[in-house]
Amino acid sequence: MADSSRLGPWVRRFLLEHLINERNLSRGRRQSYRDTVTLLIPFVARKARRSVDAMEVIHVSADLVKMFLLHLEESRGCAISTRNQRLAALHSLARFVALHSPEHIAWCEEICLIPFKKCTQTPGAYLEKAEIDALLAAPNLKSAQGQRDHLLLLFLYNTGARADEAAQVLVGDLNFAHVPKRDLSWVKLRGKGNKLRHCPLWPQTVNELAAAIQGRVPAERVFLNRYGRPITRFGIYDLVTRYVRRSVRVMPSLATKNVSPHTIRRSTATHLLRSGVDINTVRDWLGHVSVDTTNIYARVDLETKAKAIAHCEPEPTKQAKPADEGLMTFLQSL
């Protein structure tokens, strides 16, 4: 690099070379890093009284980064988890610069010494089985659109797929059993970091998928919107929200929950664990890298906790028989 002191070239290399070619991050992760830098640079430029294009690496001082993180919390109303996510991206940028520019090692150390804030993890909401059933019953199965919507909701619950994973499923990703009672039907899902996993499909899901993809080529997306174009993850969010509103009339408890596609994913994990499925199987089912992530769903399952407490509950204390008065008198006389 001709001038290693300039910030702009480092940011370009970080976003275009490091994140794509070296780390092979997903588009969503790359956009998160980009958004962090997009927020940081104008903030630091104002504080340092420099134009964005004239900024140097050292202008992004540890003190200004701390001010930026405080700005995220107080002015932008970001949660601590978001603040920590932005800081992690800046740590990554600092380490990349120091790796290729030894003169910036001290600067990198100052940035990386900025600590993450401890935040309280609140367990995410999930739906009980009756609430899932009400949601699946909401679409009008007499219409073609209602059938497509029901299939998508059923697919989300069956697979525990993220909204983006469901939107990306191709016809060619489906593998239907040749002999249903002997073979297993499954779908290939593309998770975070382009990691692939196979997820089993229920017979009902297979039947509805087979009808939906009849006559379509393998390269087509499975789930389409009302205009016949591939649905997006935003479209899936809107679809879930719409049917939750309809379901509230028959299941009022849904009105107290903020239901999204990820809520259905949590419900899948919780119901699998509740039915006795091994936690490592659930981890693989959902595509979690670490079982620690899956453990979150085990912690939020109140029904399983209640059953565990019931097993530990002691037997009722038996009423002691009245003491023999003569014996007590004898003992006290000793």
Residue, of 333 and 8, whose pLDDT is higher: 8
Q: Per-residue pLDDT for 135 more than 70?
A: yes
Residue 119 lies in a domain: no
Q: How far is CA 240 from the centre of its chain?
A: 16
Handedness of CA 286, 287, 288, 290 (dihedral sign): positive
Residue 25 lies in a domain: yes
141, 274: one domain: yes
Q: What is the CATH number of the domain that holds 80?
A: 1.10.150
158, 106: one domain: no
Number of separate domains in the chain: 2
Q: Per-residue pLDDT for 155 more than 50?
A: yes
Tell me the CA distances in angstroms from 211 to 168, 195, 277, one per residue in order: 19, 28, 30
Residue 220 lies in a domain: yes
194, 100: one domain: no
25, 82: one domain: yes
Residue, of 194 and 197, whose pLDDT is higher: 197
Q: Contact, 186 vs 175, CB < 8 A?
A: yes
**162 noted as active-site residue:** yes
134, 213: one domain: yes
CA 331 to CA 92: how far, in whole Å?
Answer: 77
What is residue 26's predicted lDDT score, i.e. its pLDDT?
77
Q: Which of 13, 91, 188, 192 is catalytic?
A: 192
Residue ranges of the alpha helices (H) in 101-232?
Answer: 105-112, 129-136, 144-159, 163-167, 203-212
Q: Which of 162, 197, 266, 271 is catalytic?
A: 162
Domain that holds residue 264: 129-311
Query: What are 72-125's pLDDT values in tens digits?
Result: 999 999 989 899 999 999 999 999 999 999 999 999 999 999 999 987 766 568
Contacts for 211 with CB less than 8 Å, ≥ 6 apart: 147
**188 noted as active-site residue:** no
**265 noted as active-site residue:** yes
CA 213 to CA 146: how far, in whole Å?
Answer: 16
Q: What is the pLDDT averaged over residues 22-42?
A: 89
DSSP type of residue 126: -
Query: What are 277-326's pLDDT values in tens digits?
Result: 777 777 777 777 655 566 666 655 555 545 544 444 444 545 545 555 56
Name the one residue in this structure whose structure tokens are 């007499």.
142
Handedness of CA 249, 253, 256, 259 (dihedral sign): negative
Residue 327 lies in a domain: no
Q: pLDDT band at 276, cuts 50/70/90?
A: confident
199, 297: one domain: yes
Q: To the nearest 5 percent, what fractions of the chain are helix, strand and coil?
A: 60, 5, 35
Q: pLDDT band at 234, cuts 50/70/90?
A: very high
DSSP type of residue 224: B
Q: Which of 148, 197, 262, 271 is catalytic?
A: 262
What is residue 109's predicted lDDT score, i.e. its pLDDT?
96
